[in-house]
Structure 1
Amino acid sequence: MGLLLQRVWLILSHKSFLWILLFVNLLGTVYGYDWYMWQLEVTEPKFWIFVPDSPTASLFFTLTIIGWLIGRNFKLIEALAIITLVKYGLWAVVMNILTLIETGELSWVGWMLVGSHFAMAVQAVLYSSLYRFSFVHIMIAAVWTLHNDVIDYVFGQMPIYGDLMKYMNQIGYFTFWLSIACILLACWVWRKRVATTILSK
């Protein structure tokens, strides 16, 4: 099993595969921003940067992959990538499942969003051994993430999810703790790398 996992990782971390991953994430980012255009049209310009959460998360990961391909680590971008990819990936999965429970149905687009956003979260964790961010980078990314929650649920700029809008207080509470969990995940990845580095010396 260990040998099989090593071979799988060799494929996943190979430059050719990273180029494919870059292309997929870039396409997803462009699609995501296009999907949010209708909401941006009714949003005050000062809030624009905070509205398209998922495509901005995939943009962070796209930039992260570019860094790996050119032999660099964009450390702050990496911290933002793991926190926001896992957060908004899982958030979208939960929101679409709640839509299914609330309405009794989910369109093919909804199922596509479930699959693609779950993949966002998985890839963020799958490539965690390549991250080189520090605790300072995590804290900066944490401020960005929690500030975004305030903008979404205090200033009313959250993604619009039709039938679920009546549960915004509960969703905001869930989102806050999801943010905390993802920040703690980034801390665990950082501490694991530091511990491994110390043991290898």
Structure 2
Amino acid sequence: MFPLAMVLREKWFLWVLLIINTAGTIYGYIWYKSQLAITPGHFLIFVPDSPTASLFFCFVLVAFILGKNWGLFEALALITLYKYGIWAVVMNILTLIVSGDLHWTGYMLMASHLAMAIEGILYAPFYRIKWWHFVVAGIWTLHNDVIDYVFMMYPVYHSISMYVKEIGYFTFWLSITALFLTYILCFSKYSAQWPLKK
């Protein structure tokens, strides 16, 4: 087994990732504070997309530390980490193109969200996702797109708000891409099922 896989299995490394992702999750919910303050209560769970994705991964890491697999959280984490990780990178690049400027926090968000997408994929060989986990996570993901772009609860990027229809279309196909990626990594003949270290 190559060295990276061995490091990913170590409990000390899982703890480091858990601390980082917990801090990032808390920061993410704080970042959404102003938008959550004006969001109707029944939509609250669907608005803070990225911190909820990293929260799913926190549960995955806790399970790994305990020597377990929580397949539903693994499916939710892989799909949403990739989706919102890539989404944030693209939205910040679009903001830079449209406005001609990007605050330093935008570059920080690009780096952190790209890391989210990468970590979700790196741990894919350790996931034990069943078909019903995949289906439920898929419904959650596509339903979230409906909430965001039909009920207009999408994350607010004021400088590119004029492109909301195009962003919604892009986001839908990004969801489909995330689902396809999850299938390839966890269900197809190309998936690598390494046993989780107990």
Q: Per-residue deviation at 1:194?
A: 8.8
- Confirm whether residue 77 of structure 1 aligns to residue 77 of structure 2: no
Q: Which runs of 4+ in 1 moved over 3 A?
A: 192-197
Root-mean-square deviation (Å): 1.4
Stretches of structure 1 that go unaligned for 5 or more consecutive residues are none
Distance 1:70 1:44 in 2: 37
1:71-124 superposed Cα distances (whole Å, 9 cap, x missing partner): 111100100000000000000000000000001111110000000000000000
Q: Is the 8 A contact 2:129 2:186 kept in 1?
A: yes
What amino acid is aligned across from residue 156 of structure 1 in structure 2? M
Partner of 1:87: 83
Q: Which amino acid aligns with 1:137?
A: H
Preserved contact between residue 184 and residue 190 of structure 2 (Cα < 8 Å)? no
Structure 2 unaligned runs (5+)?
Answer: 194-198
Is structure 2 residue 167 aligned with structure 1 residue 189? no
1:192 Cα deviation after fit: 3.8
Does 2:160 correspond to 1:141? no
Residue of structure 1 aligned with 2:92, choices 81, 88, 96? 96
User: Which residue of 1 is the match for residue 40 of structure 2?
Assistant: 44
Q: Residues 6-45 of structure 1: matches in 2 within 5 Å? A: 6-45=2-41
Q: TM-score, normalised by structure 1?
A: 0.93
Cα distance in 2 for residues equivalent to 1:95 and 1:186: 22
Aligned residues: 193
* 3-state SS of 2:101 partner: coil
Determine the structure 1 residue equivalent to 2:147: 151
Q: Distance in 2 between matches of 1:133 and 1:193?
A: 15
CA contact (8 A) 2:185 2:191 kept: no
- The TM-score, its normalising length taken from structure 2, stands at 0.94
Residue in 2 that maps onto 1:130: 126
Identity in percent: 51
Match of 2:159 among 137, 148, 163: 163
